[in-house]
Structure formats: C-alpha cells, structure tokens
Structure 1
C-alpha cells in the first residue's frame, strides 16, 4: 500500500493551513498515491530508467494502435515485428506483450504514463527523442498515418516537450527513412530523401551538412543512449537509426562531391 503521498501531503498541508490544510493535503496525497499505484503495473517493481523506457514504449504503442477504435491484425503484426527485430523472447517478450495490452485498455491513462516517463528521463533529451521516434516509426510502419494516430502522436510529443512543428519535422524525417529502405540502397535513394533524413535541404551549405550529420550521430549513438537509459534490447533500433543517418550522409556527400 502506497502511503507516502498522504503522509507528506498531510504534513505540508498542516504546516501551511493547519487542520483544513492537512485535510486538503491528505486528499491530494491520496490522489498521488493512487496514481503511483496505477502506474506501477506499467513501470514494474524495482523499476529503473531502462525498465520504464521498455514498458512505456510498448504501452504507448498499444494505445496508438487502439487510436482508430480497435486494434487490427496489422497493428498486432507491427508490434510483433518490432519484438522480433529486438529478438525478444521468454519473459522479455511477455513483458512487452503485457505492456502493449495495458496500453490498449480503455482505462489506460496516457498522460500519467508519459509524465512518469518524462520525469524519470529528465535531462536526457536524446533518450526522450528516441522514444518519440520509435512511436513514430511504429505508427508509420504500414506507410500510413490516419488522423487519430496523428492526434495521439501530437499529444505524446506535447507531453514530452515537443511542438507540433518539431513533430512534423520528425515525421518528415522518418518518412524519408521509410522511402530510403524501400528504395533498396544508397544508389537508388533519392537525394531529396537523403536530405530529409538529415533534416536539411539542398540549399544548405557543406558546413551545415557536416554539423547536422555530427549532431544526429551524437544523438543516436547506441552506447550513449544505453548509458542514458535505453534498454539494451533496443540498442538494435539505435544502431539501425545511426546506419540510416550514415547512409544519407554518404549519399549527400557523393552528390556534392564532398570529402
């Protein structure tokens, strides 16, 4: 039973408002304890940043999948494909499936889940962005994004401190990556998509291209992300992201004749 919210709420309330303040503080503390209890099912006992990242990823994924009104076979296949890509098996796969199911439940509290994740990830912007990019990637894995899915992604982005403009930029970059993969390799990839992966245009200078490349590689460095809280099981996603950035940069360099 979680009681510390009530204890602190009562004490602080009494200090500032005596009996009335204590009662108000006790009630607010009760709400806090209740919310923590609800989140414990998603975060898990003895949770750390990696556990929270892992469970929140699949819970929010389940919620996004439910956005259209019901979870389709395609949604389940996409989630399973990500689990396969991460080579999840045994307890790790069961944990991912459990979190996904909690996220698609009608009483899932998306805001509370995201606030908890953001609080524990405070000061680790690269980690938070990686989380948002995973949600974008899974939402667009079928090549489509309906209005309800976009609305939830916007809510997720806002709760994590991203504006609509920043979300749209990330969506544009991932769409370019999607095209990048479909094209079958660097030589077949359009130069426009290569620039979009880097968040650039052909009008940018060589120096801007180099700066953007270094920044993106630093943000998506697998070892750094794991040190900040990315689950080891998800390192493969960071590696793939870094490979896409490198391939796009190589394509732009080739087109410009850069060294």
Structure 2
C-alpha cells in the first residue's frame, strides 16, 4: 500500500491543514483541518513535502472534478461514469475509492471552496508545472465525458487555469491535446478490438488516423523530423511516471500517467512509420 493509502486508511494521521485538509477530514472522519496558518508554517522542504503534495493532488483532483461536473447545472451519468473510470484506471483499493467518491460529492456542494482549494493546491505543488498540467488534463477528460465541452464548463476551466497560473494559450493547447487523445484512444481501442475478434467492431474507424497522431503530439504534418522528435520527447518528459511520482504524484495515479505515455509513443510510431514509407 502506498503512503497515501496508509494515511487515508487511518494507519497514521497527517495534518494537511487548510481547505484541502478540511475536505479530506470531512470525508475520512479524521481531524485533518488544523488551520491554514499551521499548514503555512511547515518547512517547505521537509521530509513530508512529497506526502503533502500527494494528499493535496488526490484531494483536489476528485473534489474539483465533482465541482466541474455540476458546472452545467446537473451531473450526468456520463460524468459519473468517467469519474469511476478514472478510479478504475487507478486501481484504487476500496477505502481509497470510497474516499474519492466522497470527495467528488463534496465538490458538488454549493458551498465548495473552489478558489481556496485551488490556491492551496497551487501552493503545495509550487513550481511543479507537470503536476498542474496532469491535474488539468484529468479535469478536461472529465469535462469531455459527454463528448463535448459545454460553455459553462469551459468558463470554469479557464477560471481554474487562471487560479493555477496556467495561461489561456496553454489551456487551448492542452484542450487540443485532450481532444486528439480522446479520438486517438477511441480509434486505437477499435483497432485492437478488430484484431482480437477478427471482424470490424460497430464503431466507425478501425485505427488511429495520421492526423490524430500529429494532433496528439501537437505538431503540424509539415513539421520536420527534428521538430516532431522534440515534441515527442517533451510530452514524454512531461508525463514520465517516475518523474511525476518524484514530484509528488500519488502512486495510485501512476497508471494514468503510464497510459498517456503509451498513447504518445504510439502516435510517434505512427508518424515515424508513415514518414519512413514515403
């Protein structure tokens, strides 16, 4: 069991403090909230820093996801299903899964302290921009649960980005990345289905398209080989599971980062194979 699993399982306590500590305390029944003042007084580079970041990432991810799901007025079955799929992909043990579900519900509350939650999360992760990026990727994937990004969801996501120091330009680039990833993942799953079962599956496309591969890497089809390789290496570095864990990503979320690196690698291979055949 990871450090996060031990803490949330009640093996020992850890005082996160602030709004994130209050949220966590509300859903797991521990006295985590000892005030933001104490949280701020903790040494910024002590041995518990990574553990605090893990707890903050987990708490913010599912509570903000719940808040985002409620942004358009109602939580759809698709949004609930995506939240559960993310939990499934993390392979959460029962007590962590229940904690994630309760955090999701807390986020739907009309009194959810969104700005305070985001401010503390940003303070915890500091300059670890790759963690903020992955956090936003997860929120965008949840927002696209019903196949489109609603205007109210987009406005809320832009507000979240502004609070986390993520520019509008970076958000649009990240949105294009997520849209391409969703198309690529769906097409790849269909292709794998056909290979396993020997016949065409009900959905339309059979394999990821070259255009989706370029979009996933964020490059133009006119880009040079060197530019494509640079984009590929940058994305692989941003999503490298070991690097993210070292920066404070909860171990339970490693599978999500690993899946992303696999899709990035597959997209790069599609482009490289196409160019070698020309």
TM-score (norm 2): 0.76
SS in 2 for 1:197: helix
**Match 1:106 to one of 103, 110, 124:** 110
For residues 261 and 218 of structure 2, the distance between their equivalents in structure 1, rounded to whole angstroms, comes to: 14
Q: Kindly indicate whether residue 70 of structure 2 is the aligned counterpart of residue 61 of structure 1.
A: no
Cα drift, residue 114 of structure 1? 0.6
Confirm or deny that 1:208 pairs with 2:227. Answer: yes
Are residues 1:188 and 2:169 paired?
no
Which string of whole-angstrom CA distances, capped at 9 and with x for unpartnered residues, describes residues 95-142 of structure 1?
111211111100111111111001110111111111111111111133
Aligned length: 223
Separation of aligned partners in 1, 2:91 and 2:140: 20
What TM-score, normalized by structure 1, do the two folds share? 0.81
Aligned mate of 1:132, from 118, 126, 136: 136
Of 64, 71, 74 in structure 1, the residue corresponding to residue 75 of structure 2 is 71
Q: Which has the higher contact order (CA 8 A, sep 6+)?
A: 2
Q: 1 or 2, which has the higher helix percentage?
A: 1
Note if contact 2:61-2:135 (Cα within 8 Å) is conserved in structure 1.
yes
Structure 2: unaligned runs, 5 residues or longer: 1-16, 26-31, 33-47, 193-205
SS in structure 2 at match of 1:257: helix
CA distance in 1, matches of 2:20, 2:60: 10
Q: After superposing the two structures, state which structure 1 stretch, 194-203 or 136-145, moved more.
A: 136-145
User: 2:23 & 2:255 partners in 1: Cα distance?
Assistant: 23
Look up the SS of the partner of 1:141 in the other structure: helix
